[in-house]
Structure 1
């Protein structure tokens, strides 16, 4: 699975992107406010529900696999000490809960990406943030969502090319260097082609964007977002 929109007719697909952005931001706020195991257990139900309402499943999280090693190793690194007692369990637990909190935020983000077209995300941002700042953010989000899957595909293609040329026998450091250099070259190449394409198509900062409107289901999503924000504020206050 890749970090891209998947057409469908799920509940989340039918919602306005602005209400989904509110839920996503509110979830991140309450996740960082409630760091106890009980709070994260409740947020796990919410995160899984968001992904399920978007028609997704565990396979959608595979796109974030690059983060899994860091989340797994962080508690071990945090708990290790240079002297007695050599390992502090309380530090490892705190770091593990923090890493799990990041994982839950990624689950909700996967639900949003899966259920929201890029043009609707751009429209939501530009109509929420007025003026040039909103247009700049909208363009940035649109380009990131469109280019990330391509850049990931380029890195995989470079790695496969290295293996096809018996690169698997090279030291790990050399393989990393070859893949990194090849990936960076492709990034610069895509950036040059993107600039040329934008100029050739008379790129506009304020194009005609899709119409957005709230439906009955969006009011439920807004209520969920408001409730999550309230939960976060209660903890802070």
Structure 2
């Protein structure tokens, strides 16, 4: 079956959705889901998203029914100042919250330990790659995903080199301008001895080097919108 997915995200997403849905979403837990009619259209609603904000995703089938729901969301959402956005805007949101992206932060050449996903490993059983991970964990000298907040103007991008005193110490996996912070931010795989919070590194952006500071994740807290509204 084919589905269209519409994501309603943000602090007021629940207030908006309750106006057009026929099930109770007040106490829906994170990652919870239910069958529902949204604007009279059969849907699966889940409390999920890729923005780090309160949000819901609607899975609609057949796809042609999604057009009505989309326009109803925009009409009802006028009082909440809703705006339609695309993948580019969503990507800046997930980056501000340090959400990982397949193909960038984790791919065939990276391990869960390097990506900061050790919490997802169940060590109490055998699995493919366990011995290699145990050896890597024991050595502890592997590159790890690191948050870099730019001091100088510039936009870090995937693949850009991270340096310290002219020495390559890492590489950017995801980077962009943060609309909330109004500065460049990046996730980068960096050698362990250069990851201390507060350390100043350099990112090679085209023909210049810009300074960036190692910071704690996330770049933008989940309460940022409320605190800055």
**Pair in the same fold by TM > 0.5:** no
More helix by share: 1
TM-score w.r.t. the length of structure 2 is 0.26
More strand by share: 2
| Greater RCO structure (CA 8 Å; 6+ sep) | 1
